[in-house]
Amino acid sequence: MTDQELKQIDRANSTGLTPVVFVHGLWLLPSSWDEWRALFEENGFATIAPGWPDDPETVGEAREHPEVFARKSIGAVTSHYLEAIAKLNSKPAIVGHSFGGVIAQKLAGDGASRATVAIDPAPFQGVLPLPVSSLRSSSAVLANPANFDRAVTLTFEQFAYGWANALEEDEAREIYERYHVAAPGRPLFSAATANFNPWSDDKVDTTNPDRGPLLLISGADDHTVPWAIVNASYNRQKRSVGVTEIVSVPHRGHSLTIDSGWEEVAKIALDFVNEHTAG
């Protein structure tokens, strides 16, 4: 754990409030959650946003050293978040986006969450749909097998298609410059082969009775994780005895957590976490 992560954990513990752990996905840093964290803290929660192992602290640093993102795996990242959660004084709620949404579900499947929100979550083992738009979005990485051990940066055109297709170009360019960093190729290869690889780390325990309530949120216009994938994840998660819900947010793409409409999505997540952590 970094000093910054430990400080966040100590601060959360000192408040005595219910903690909320935010999990970012590929091509972002923990700072992408800053506005969400402020909203949740205004509403009585203590928040932490750990990075993936060795994440740089700033977008500027990340762009100077993109190689630090290489070789990160879903399993290693999940273990890092479990380590952070183990240091909290009480079981948290967890909110994750994209591959962070898969990790959030893995953490919930391990019984580590009081309530979980997975936003446009990448598919896990057993989720079968492969829409054309999703294949095109991931081709920036998957088209070259050598990217398995590399860090990959999206061009603006790739980002505009996969993330910002529901935005005007000016806003798409603004969030690309503000948030976008390189990402490891390994998690995408893991997801792409999960249904053929019994040893894949892209697995989620959907039957653990300690999973807790789960909400899946889909951006209705998302090219990277379309409704078909989120709905298939929901159908797998319904095996749980816990509350399992799904919401589709109209006219929103994969950037729905960081674009100008973020607060609409954040309030859906906040309402769910409030409802299922009260008392």
- Percent of the chain at pLDDT exceeding 90: 97
Is residue 129 exposed (0-12), middle (13-18) or buried (19+ Cβ within 10 Å)?
middle
Q: What is the pLDDT of residues 162-181, one digit of tens each?
A: 999 999 999 999 999 999 99
Distance CA 110, CA 99 (A): 17
| pLDDT surpassing 90 at residue 36 | yes
What pLDDT score does 5 carry?
97
Three-class SS of the chain: CCHHHHHHHHHHHHHCCCEEEEECCCCCCHHHHHHHHHHHHHCCCEEECCCCCCCCCCHHHHHHCHHHHCCCCHHHHHHHHHHHHHCCCCCCEEEEECHHHHHHHHHHHCCCCCCEEEECCCCCCCCCCCCHHHHHHHHHHHCCHHHHHCEECCCHHHHHHHCCCCCCHHHHHHHHHHHCCCEECHHHHHHHHHHHCCCCCCCCCCCCCCCCCEEEEEECCCCCCCHHHHHHHHHHHCCCCCCEEEEEECCCCCCCCCCCCHHHHHHHHHHHHHHHHCC
Rounded to whole angstroms, how far apart are CA atoms 130 and 262?
Answer: 26
Q: Answer yes or no: are the C-beta atoms of 175 and 254 closer than 8 Å.
A: no
| Residue 279 predicted with pLDDT over 90 | no
pLDDT at 278: 86
Say what the pTM is: 0.97
Q: Could you tell me which residues come within 8 angstroms of residue 139 by beta carbon, excluding any fewer than 6 positions away?
A: none
Average pLDDT estimate for 127-151: 95
The domain ranges of the chain are 3-277
**What is the model's pLDDT at position 61?**
97
Segment 109-134 mean pLDDT:
96
Average pLDDT, the chain: 97
Fold for 3-277, please state it: Rossmann fold (3.40.50)
pLDDT, mean of residues 214-227: 98
